[in-house]
Structure 1
Amino acid sequence: MDVVHRYFDAFNTGDIDAMLDCLTDDIAHHVNEGQVRTGKGLFRDFCQHMSRCYAEQLTDMVVFATPDGTRAAAEYIVNGTYLHTDAGLPAAKGQIYRLPAGSFFDLRAGQIARVTTYYNLADWIRQVGA
């Protein structure tokens, strides 16, 4: 479960390389809306895109793990600012949002092999004033 905490610590400091260090080479990244991305290269591309469009900090983090250490989950609040318009979404004007979210993980050999993230997109759109 330490790897999940390291992953989120890296997220909160904007350290994409440290996030990548937490992942297996064949990471399966399931985003809330869209296709599954496989591999660290696509994960890096996603993170760079997100960093350009959003400034986010995760708070109120609670992490759960199975006794055998192969699965974990986290619940948290995304505190963000919408910086740059993301394709297909409302125009960015520096809107601030606060959004409950969760992530689910498969863990293998001390690394994250799958991450699936969920949040309420309709709530986010309402908050940024579509």
Structure 2
Amino acid sequence: MSNEEAHGLVQSYLDALNASDHDAALALVSEDVAHDPFDREREIGREKLRWHLGLAARHFDERLADIAVMSAPGGVRVAAEFTVRGTYRTRAEGLPEATGQTYALPGGMFFEIDGGEITRITEQRNRTQWLAALSAGR
């Protein structure tokens, strides 16, 4: 896959997330995608990613802004840096009470691509900043 194609694949994934179109996002990942959430251990598989996306959407309304996608030569590794703009809608287990807290935090994702599919997604954001923003609504 060329750098341009890899860049486009990742941009399509991010666009699908921003549109809350989980089916479109999941169509771009491999059946055995490795997903590293910023707040939990690695999960393997498209269905686990589906569950993660659905659960996150239940509690948070997030959009990615100021997206910059970069790819390494060969189109195998791609990175995206962005601002996560979110609203905490309903209380998630282990987190403070949800009162509509809003936040804007720097974030990123790192991707591996093989055979035209995303095979790894590693999420990054500062968990301490995120928790502080959620606690601010108490």
Fold in common (TM above 0.5): yes
Post-superposition offset of 1:89: 1.1
Give the counterpart letter for 2:123 in structure 1.
Answer: T
Post-superposition offset of 1:111: 1.2
**What RMSD, in angstroms, separates the aligned Cα atoms of the two structures?**
0.9
Q: What is the correspondence of 1:3-14 to structure 2 with a 5 Å cutoff? A: 3-14=9-20
Output one character per residue of 1:63-104: Cα deviation in whole Å (capped at 9) or x when no partner.
Answer: 110110000001000000001111111111111110100100
Give the counterpart letter for 1:43 in structure 2.
Answer: L
Aligned residues: 130
- 1:68 aligns to what? 74
Q: What is the correspondence of 1:1-130 to structure 2 with a 5 Å cutoff? A: 1-128=7-134, 129=136
Question: Which of structure 1's runs of 4+ aligned residues deviate more than 6 A?
Answer: none
How much identity, in percent, do the aligned residues show?
36
- 2:3 aligns to what? none
The two structures have a TM-score, normalised by structure 2, of 0.91
Give the Cα–Cα distance (whole angstroms) in 1 for the partners of residues 132 and 34 of structure 2: 29
Give the Cα–Cα distance (whole angstroms) in 2 for the partners of residues 13 and 4 of structure 1: 14
Give the Cα–Cα distance (whole angstroms) in 1 for the partners of residues 61 and 83 of structure 2: 13
